[in-house]
Amino acid sequence: MGGLGSHVLHGPAYRASDWTAEGLLERKGDRTVSVVVPAKNEESTVAAVVERIIADFVRADGSGLVDEVVVIDSDSTDRTADVARAAGAQVFSANEIRPDLGSVPGKGEALWKSQHVTSGDLVVFVDADLVDWGTHFVTGLLAPLLTDDAVQLVKAVYDRPMIDATGREEETGGRVTELVARPWLALHRPGLAGIVQPLSGEWAIRREALASYAVPVGYGVEIAALVDTFDRFGADGIAQVDLGRRTHRHHRHDTLGLMAVQVLAAADRRRGGGVGGAGGDDAGSTVSLTQYARGTAGFEPRVTDVATGERPPADSLRMPSADAR
């Protein structure tokens, strides 16, 4: 089965049930696999994510499907790091990785820095706030990369219902997907109309491809990787796998406004093509977003400086003489 090119309008070309871990192990050969879990204040869910993946796929003698599970902690103020470490993950604080390059807040910063403390030829990203999910997410995401050399990036596809405070399923999730990412793709990359979940936080990629991309420091990391892969490798470089259903912790709408700025900023840098965004390291760039809430004196502005910068391709950086860890 091919990547998106052979299934542009038919959604995911792969299903999680297509391959078992044992079957993929036979295809793995000498390739290595890193699972990276970005986490910010996820003490209530990160342990289950880490423990289940380690239990199913990591073996002490290194013969398992997954070679390392790494949590990148983004300045959590709860016990995320301790809980993740107790669950068996290697845990790194994002701001302690490559301190020579400084540190900025953001999910993309965490994923970019993970490249400096992991070694897998294939990298699987899994959010730390997952609630309804399964370890078939890992096998499903790895299968296209282990069985089709043309595939560079694998995107998860799933039902993603919004669960309200009472546990009732409301409308489907993916609010920034539906209101920002999909419209932008329709306008500027119609060839990606077949991507069902362009912003899915569960994805897998060949290290070599990721290391060649500039990486937005915030929530633009997913749209950037998708567009950069499409621009460089075409539709056949992208595969989608149906993982069934996923629920996670949801942000309030106003917080998603910040995410929307970051998704748009990353996409707009790529509007005219040119893989890897603008290049260079402007990680500290920000844009002011003004939102409003009614106060005692009427509607009061609330201004947030949103990080819209990008890190340069990891393979463009000289490693310091000392260990980067």
Ligand X SMILES: O=c1ccn([C@@H]2O[C@H](COP(=O)(O)OP(=O)(O)O)[C@@H](O)[C@H]2O)c(=O)[nH]1
Where on the chain is the footprint of ligand XDX (CB under 6 A)?
Answer: 107, 127, 160, 162, 173-177, 199, 201, 219, 222, 250-251, 259
Q: Does 161 bind ligand X (CB under 6 A)?
A: no
Of residues 34 and 197, the one with the C-beta less far from ligand XDX: 197
The values of phi and psi at residue 302, to 5°, are -125, 110
Which x/- pattern, by CB under 6 A, does the window 250-269 give for ligand X? xx------------------
DSSP 8-class letter at 40: S
* Least distance (Å) between residue 6 CB and ligand X: 29
Of residues 24 and 264, the one with the C-beta less far from ligand XDX: 264
Residue 78: left (phi > 0), alpha (psi -120 to 50), or beta? beta
177 binding partner (options ligand X, ligand XDX, none; Cβ < 5 to 8 Å by kind): ligand XDX
Q: Find the part of the chain contacting ligand X (CB under 6 A) among 38-46, 220-228, 235-243, 271-279.
A: 38-46
Q: Does 202 bind ligand X (CB under 6 A)?
A: no
Select the residue interacting with ligand X from 35, 101, 110, 314 (CB under 6 A): 110
The values of phi and psi at residue 6, to 5°, are -95, 5
Of residues 106 and 277, the one with the C-beta less far from ligand X: 106
Q: 240: which residues sit within 8 A by CB, 6+ positions away?
A: 4, 7, 11, 12, 13, 14, 154, 155, 156, 157, 194, 195, 196, 197
Copy the structure tokens of residue 88.
Answer: 């068996």
* Least distance (Å) between residue 64 CB and ligand XDX: 25
* Least distance (Å) between residue 75 CB and ligand X: 8
Which x/- pattern, by CB under 6 A, does the window 127-146 give for ligand X? xxx-----------------
User: What number of other Cβ atoms are within 10 A of residue 103's Cβ?
Assistant: 19
Q: Give the amino acid at 90.
A: Q
Helix (H) / strand (E) element for 85: namely: helix 80-86
Q: Does 246 bind ligand X (CB under 6 A)?
A: no
* Least distance (Å) between residue 217 CB and ligand X: 9
Cα–Cα distance measured from residue 199 to residue 312, given in angstroms and rounded to the nearest whole number: 21
Tell me, by CB under 6 A, how many residues bind ligand X.
17
160 binding partner (options ligand X, ligand XDX, none; Cβ < 5 to 8 Å by kind): ligand XDX
* Least distance (Å) between residue 23 CB and ligand X: 29
Q: Does 248 bind ligand X (CB under 6 A)?
A: yes
List of E strands, 50-185: 68-73, 90-93, 122-125, 130-132, 153-159, 161-163, 169-172
Copy the structure tokens of residue 274.
Answer: 């040119």
Residues 324 and 98 sit within 8 Å (Cβ to Cβ): yes
The residue written with tokens 């499903």 in the block is 140
Copy the structure tokens of residue 231.
Answer: 């621009």
Select the residue interacting with ligand X from 3, 12, 36, 38 (CB under 6 A): 38
Q: Hey, is 220 helix, strand or coil?
A: coil
Q: Does 106 bind ligand X (CB under 6 A)?
A: yes
Residues 16 and 242 sit within 8 Å (Cβ to Cβ): yes
Cα–Cα distance measured from residue 250 to residue 183, given in angstroms and rounded to the nearest whole number: 21
* Least distance (Å) between residue 231 CB and ligand X: 24
User: What number of other Cβ atoms are within 10 A of residue 116's Cβ?
Assistant: 17
Of residues 65 and 199, the one with the C-beta less far from ligand XDX: 199
Residue 21 CA to its chain's centroid (Å): 22
Q: Does 74 bind ligand X (CB under 6 A)?
A: yes
Residues lying near ligand X in the complex (CB under 6 A) are found at: 38-40, 42, 74, 105-107, 110, 127-129, 201, 248-251
